[in-house]
Chain A
Amino acid sequence: MKSIEIEFRPNRRKVLTAALSIGVASMLPGFALAASDGVPAALAFDGDTILLARGGLFVSDNGGRTWTAAETPGKVLSLATHRDRPGLVVAGLAEGGVSISEDGGASWRIFEARLPDGEITAVAIASRNPDMIYASLRGDGLWKSEDAGATWSLAMDRPWLDDAERDPLALASVELETGMGGIWIYAGTEVGLTRVPDCFCRWQDVQPGNAMDALVAGEAPPSEAPLPGGEPILSLASAPSAPEVMYAALPSGLWASQDGGVIWQKRASKAATAVAVHPRDETYIAALLGGILKISRDGGATWIETGEQ
């Protein structure tokens, strides 16, 4: 098993761009949490294409063997795509706002100030509706757009964990029924995992589906193995082909769940900063581990190298 670190080809433009990016990123509040190698990073699958935002936007059409620099809409902190709308890419920007591409990142619609000013720490597209976009605004709350970014409204305040409001650093629309006529939105925060139904009634802990029945019946709660506490969750992914399969990137490593986030197992021990899962194969994942992009085709059991960027 080999691994190759993603490298920037040292031309003048990229050196200057990277230097400027690091300079900007280091001034951001979330910088320390964003990536172990110091640069905020995000990953997404657009069909078979892998998108990597790290000091720029890069696209690979061959599983990571070769990469092409793409037009970047700004300093991208988060990416979201949708299995039913190839080419749709939503980018949350450090300088504020959300940009949307409908051609896989070749061009971007830059929305004017339709969201309040502030860093967009995470974005997600609703699994059942590609026109529904969620964006987490640092220090503010979770916003939603029901018309593909044209208009926005506050959906919910930030989650309350460990006696404080916490910014979602990662969002995932998880196509598991809430029992309220909708599905869940999971959020990774600096201190742990939480979720809210897409009716936005309340943030709540992830618990087994039969936990409420056990509570009512006075029985022992079902077993759980949550993510390690007190660690930031930097990236979250739910497999469109099997929504109960989830991946989470934490400083302690890459973690996987087969049951919608109730029981987690570590799949890589190097600090993970970003993860994405293929839309049709829940075992095909891309992750930044120790600052290096790696690919797994077996749900994280083994990892393979990618080509140079």
Chain B
Amino acid sequence: MPMNKGPKDRSAKCTVRRSVHLAALVSALATTGVVVLAQSEPVDPRVEGLTFLGEPVLASQVMAGQQLYADNCASCHGASLEGQPDWRRRLDTGRMPAPPHDDSGHTWHHSDRMLFQITKGGVGAVVPGYESDMPAFGEDLTDAEIAAILVYIKSTWPERQREFQAEVSANDTGG
């Protein structure tokens, strides 16, 4: 005996059909999403907990900065960022030796903006009339290269120094 196919049965059938379709759609979207996610996996990941001038830092910047540091900075500031020996004692010229850039120095007390200005324009760019052996690198390095060097230096600091310097940078309202 055929069953009575009233409105209620049709409604139930439609509900089942919609559920099947929805599940298929979700499954398809999930599959697509996985594929899309897999395809968009960043090849140049951000460095966790590190920014420069408010922007996230990429691993490739740090790597480039490491090489640029070796080529342009290490001869004075040390291959391991250790600075010149006895760097708190003045040279015979009256100028100060190159300080370390690791956590034993004072670099992490300076804001991103000041570090960039010193590297690009020399110490005289932030302390008028100050005589230093450090040249201004603005003629030899691009802004991006200077930034890369600085993010490399920052990437070597322990967490406390990073946090301190991030706060100094955040409070630097000088422009």
Contact = CB atoms under 8 A, between A and B. Distances in A.
Contacts of B125: 215-216
Interface residues of A, number: 28
Interface stretch (A36-44, A151-159, A248-256): A151-159
B130 A199 contact: no
Interface string B164-175: 110110011011
Contacts of B88: 141, 154-157, 200
B130 A204 contact: yes
Contacts of A155: 88
A23 interface: no
Interface of A: 141, 154-158, 160, 163-165, 179-182, 197, 199-202, 204-205, 207, 211-213, 215-216, 221
A200 B174 contact: no
A164 B99 CA distance: 21
A202 B127 contact: yes
Interface of B: 88-90, 94, 96, 99, 106, 109-111, 114, 117, 123, 125-130, 164-165, 167-168, 171-172, 174-175
A181 B167 CA distance: 8
Nearest to A210: B174
Contact of A179 (B89, B96, B99, B171): B171
Interface class of chain B by DSSP: loop
A163 B94 contact: yes
Contacts, number: 67
Given A181-B109, A201-B106, A157 B89 contact: yes
Given A199-B106, A215-B125, A181 B164 contact: yes
Contacts of A212: 126, 128, 174
Nearest to A179: B172
Given A179-B174, A201-B99, A202-B127, A158 B90 contact: yes
Contacts of B90: 157-158, 160, 165
A151 to B, nearest CB: 16
B106 A200 contact: yes
B96 A181 contact: no
A10 to B, nearest CB: 48
Given A205-B128, A213-B174, 7 more contacts: A154-B89, A179-B168, A180-B106, A181-B109, A181-B171, A201-B106, A216-B125
A155 B104 CA distance: 12
B128 A182 contact: no
B106 to A, nearest CB: 4
Contacts of A160: 90, 94
10 contacts: A160-B90, A164-B94, A165-B90, A179-B171, A180-B114, A181-B109, A181-B171, A207-B128, A212-B174, A216-B117
